[in-house]
Amino acid sequence: MPTLDEKREQLLMLIRSFESCAVAFSAGVDSTVVAKAAQLALGNSAVAVTGTSASLASGELDEAKSLAACIGVRHVVIATDEFANASYTQNAPDRCYHCKTELYTQLDGIIEQLGVKVVLNGANVDDASDYRPGMKAASEHSVRSPLAECGFTKADVRALAEQWELPVWDKPATPCLSSRVAYGEEVTPERLRMIDRAEQLLRDQGLRDVRVRYHRGDLARIEVPADEIAKFIPAATRSKLADQLRQLGFKFVTIDIEGFRSGSLNSLVQLSANASAASPQ
């Protein structure tokens, strides 16, 4: 098995072979490592591009700008318009495909202006084990995944980020706000604002890993690590939290007793697929 140092050198060599690149840069640990590697390998021939819309959580754009400055990579911010696509807002399980298609289409349109030859994303080999319709969009737009191509697992990515002293090396996963909306429920800017404010409220109380999932009927399903659930047992705490979330627009508030699970809504897609496969044709 290659060591982390060997994978790092392979990554830099691969990116150097592109001669120039644009990195789809979300400020998560994966895309930050790719942006850092691109800057080391290509210098000013690398650019980090962040797409913004109502699905971007509060503070993420500011963090992207700060990280790009820390890395020393060129940074460009573009506005994406996935909410104009009904296939996105109707929120079928392939929603992420339509979001990434919008991002990569916009990048295709400015690639010459940016002066680069290829677009890179932050996918790693562990992503193949989850439901990732966005990877189809990447393939259709010839987007490269250097971390996956060089065999980086998520643990490898975090280890390299720590080695490079990137401040996001231990940052929790921060997928777009739309990923909190249960499949089949319409994605709207208003619902995403409710989710964003609810998660910010919980983080202000010291919770780091937290998701507020939106379900039918304006129901909030809160996921926190299992060992943090006890914080919500006192009646006064539950009452205050329920009042706060109702003020944001939620009608019902629940705590998920299974605790925090990244991508928990994807289990419904897998269950549906299994049920379809098992049914007679």
* Residue 32 domain-assigned (yes or no): yes
Please report the pLDDT score of residue 267 as a whole number.
58
Quickly state the pLDDT bin for 272 (edges 50, 70, 90).
very low
pLDDT tens column, 140-181? 999 999 999 999 999 999 999 999 999 999 998 889 999 999
**What pLDDT is stored for residue 105 in this prediction?**
97
Last residue of a domain, which of 100, 131, 163? 163
Pair (148, 246) in one structural domain = no
Alpha-carbon distance 171 to 249, whole Å? 28
List the Cα angle 84/89/95 in 5-degree steps: 110
Whole-number pLDDT of residue 266: 62
Q: Are 142 and 183 in a shared domain?
A: no
Verify that 12 and 108 share a domain, yes or no: yes
Q: Residue 276: pLDDT band by 50, 70, 90 thresholds?
A: very low
> 272 lies in a domain?
no
- Burial class for 139, CB neighbours closer than 10 Å (0-12, 13-18, 19+): exposed
255 and 138 co-located in one domain: no
Mark which of 163, 192, 210 sits at the end of a domain.
163
The pLDDT tens digits of the residues spanning 207-259 come to 989 999 999 999 999 999 999 999 999 999 999 999 999 999 999 999 999 99
Edge-to-edge strand list for the sheet holding 211-215: 211-215, 219-223, 252-255
Q: What's the pLDDT band for 278 if we cut at 50, 70, 90?
A: very low
Strand order across the 118-120 sheet: 74-79, 46-52, 21-24, 118-120
Residue 75's CATH number: 3.40.50.620
Q: Is residue 275 part of a domain?
A: no
d(CA 203, CA 280): 47
Look at residue 22 and tell me whether its pLDDT is greater than 80. Answer: yes
Largest CA distance in the chain: 60
Task: Tell me what the mean pLDDT of segment 48-58 comes to.
Answer: 97
pLDDT tens track for 89-100: 999 999 999 999
- What single-letter amino acid sits at 169? W
**Average pLDDT for 9-20:** 98
156 and 194 inside one domain: no
When pLDDT is averaged across residues 131-138 and rounded to a whole number, the result is: 90
Same domain, 126 and 198: no
What is the pLDDT of the chain when averaged over all its residues?
A: 92
pTM of the model: 0.90
Looking at the chain, the whole-number percentage of residues with pLDDT higher than 90 is 87
Residues 122 and 32 in one domain: yes
Give residue 104's domain range: 4-163
Instruction: Report the domain count for the chain.
Output: 2
